[in-house]
Chains A and B, each alone.
Chain A
Amino acid sequence: QDMQEKETISPERAEEAKLKAKYPNLGQKPGGSDFLMKRLQKGQKYFDSGDYNMAKAKMKNKQLPSAGPDKNLVTGDHIPTPQDLPQRKSSLVTSKLAG
């Protein structure tokens, strides 16, 4: 019966197992709330000297956190540093659809 159960595992569950094997620290909560918060905070964050200095004061002697791989988190704890500044946007031109 064990064999039967293995064969009938849904493709979704199999994919979930694959994901959990790759990322064992994946949150126990269903794949929802982390993405919701990320979605609400979507937007290119820039270096903010106010946040930077506040975080520095909070950290005191500790290492100042950099933006890290996930640049999308709220400022205060994880902030872009001057090195992480995005490239300047190119000038506005006419759409190629109208060309």
Chain B
Amino acid sequence: SGAGGGNDIQWCFSQVKGAVDDDVAEADIISTVEFNHSGELLATGDKGGRVVIFQQEQENKTQSHSRGEYNVYSTFQSHEPEFDYLKSLEIEEKINKIRWLPQKNAAQFLLSTNDKTIKLWKISERDKRPEGYNLKEEDGRYRDPTTVTTLRVPVFRPMDLMVEASPRRIFANAHTYHINSISINSDYETYLSADDLRINLWHLEITDRSFNIVDIKPANMEELTEVITAAEFHPNSCNTFVYSSSKGTIRLCDMRASALCDRHSKLFEEPEDPSNRSFFSEIISSISDVKFSHSGRYMMTRDYLSVKIWDLNMENRPVETYQVHEYLRSKLCSLYENDCIFDKFECCWNGSDSIVMTGSYNNFFRMFDRNTKRDITLEASRENNKPRTVLKPRKVCASGKRKKDEISVDSLDFNKKILHTAWHPKENIIAVATTNNLYIFQDKMN
């Protein structure tokens, strides 16, 4: 695998957000990253239930060699820790997913969810305020009515920009198990939320009702063999959605077929070689993320060791498979012991669906160019990161003689995992989350 990855994109460090210190507070662990539909806004959610939204600065015409930087636009506490008294269980405030609604008016809307509750947030700007009240001073105190001798019309005057976030809808009490996915329908009116065993359909305006569209809970819980790991609506067909499982299967469902979509329309599964089956087979086949391509023709799944591209017209095997870190196959025993084997990596497409990206360990992340079949490994690190300096590709040495500049598998830091990455919908700008830092990389512009 040579340098490149998509017509030889030259990735450069742009920005890094977050604390420098090594002692990471649990609340600061980033749990989700998502660009909005225009790419102007970038949202992050963390384990402490907070959302931080960055906004891209308008392009500076004099500095044509760099795209706008992302600066803090708004930050708010989306979810707080709750307590389920019946089960003596704490409900984590960790934000599992954020999904943006397409912009309809001046305000921005996003859905954020923790394990149990989904919230619709409105983010609006205020850059004017009324001045010149008759009965009030500018600071709000009431004027002495006897001093009012003339009548005037208050006018709006500019003020420093204020960005306000307010919760507009709270969708609660519909999930017994832990929510892993939310996905907005292409009708922009409904959305789905999925937990380990069920998927619910909501209308964005209605919070007291939700339709159950998938239920895989067995009558006897001892018969449980698989759980739902991710779900997503098709980008164009408002009747179609997919959900992935812990057994490595993906089911495509059509909501026109029946009210309860327990019977799939399509089942995507790659046949397994039974002679290769081991204790680890099922665990590493568990799909941690599923994403449709922008075109809607393909979908991508991420399991522990690979990324697979599926053609919706072909159920019996993926059309492309990319190995993310195959060298870990001979480390499964220790990865099981330290629980890393259960890490849930996400994956994403670039805007034109020609490149896919996913994270790995040691703060490495990988990109696969579907056209050139080249791949690249890069590192998110504060060292050696100067703006407009092209990132150096990394290489892991699986065994044998380690070449200069290669890193051996045993030297990888398994605590430095990149689980969440996002690609700008239109440009070659990517957001990569390490444990508690957010990196932004850009294509070097000539």
Taking beta carbons and an 8 Å cutoff, which residues of A are in contact with B? 10-16, 18-20, 22, 26, 30-33, 35-37, 39-40, 42-48, 51, 75, 89-90, 92-99
Contact = CB atoms under 8 A, between A and B. Distances in A.
A16 B329 CA distance: 11
8 contacts: A11-B330, A15-B331, A18-B333, A19-B332, A19-B333, A40-B224, A95-B44, A97-B17
Contact of A36 (B83, B224, B278): B224
Contacts of B221: 37
Contacts of B75: 94-95, 97-98
A13 B75 CA distance: 48
Contact of B80 (A18, A44, A92): A92
A43 B333 contact: no
Contacts of B83: 46
Given A90-B27, A98-B72, A36 B331 contact: no
B90 A40 contact: no
A99 B342 CA distance: 32
Contacts of B282: 30-32
A96 B278 contact: no
B50 A95 contact: yes
B336 interface: yes
B211 interface: no
Contacts of B50: 94-95
Interface size class of chain B, counting residues whose CB lies under 8 Å from the partner chain? 35 or more
Interface of B: 17-19, 25, 27-28, 30, 44, 46, 48-50, 52, 72, 75, 77, 80-81, 83, 87-92, 115, 177-178, 196-197, 221, 224-227, 246-247, 276-283, 329-333, 336-337, 342, 436, 438
Given A15-B280, A43-B87, 13 more contacts: A15-B329, A19-B336, A20-B279, A32-B282, A39-B196, A40-B196, A47-B88, A48-B88, A95-B28, A96-B19, A97-B17, A97-B18, A99-B19
A19 B279 CA distance: 9
Contacts of B88: 45-48, 51, 75
A41 B436 CA distance: 26
B155 to A, nearest CB: 33
A12 B332 contact: yes
Contact of B329 (A12, A22, A42, A75): A12
A34 to B, nearest CB: 10
Contacts of A16: 278-280, 332-333
Contacts of A47: 88
Contacts of B77: 92
Contact of B224 (A18, A33, A89): A33
A95 B52 CA distance: 7
A93 B224 CA distance: 40
A22 B48 CA distance: 37
Contacts of B247: 32
Contacts of B177: 40
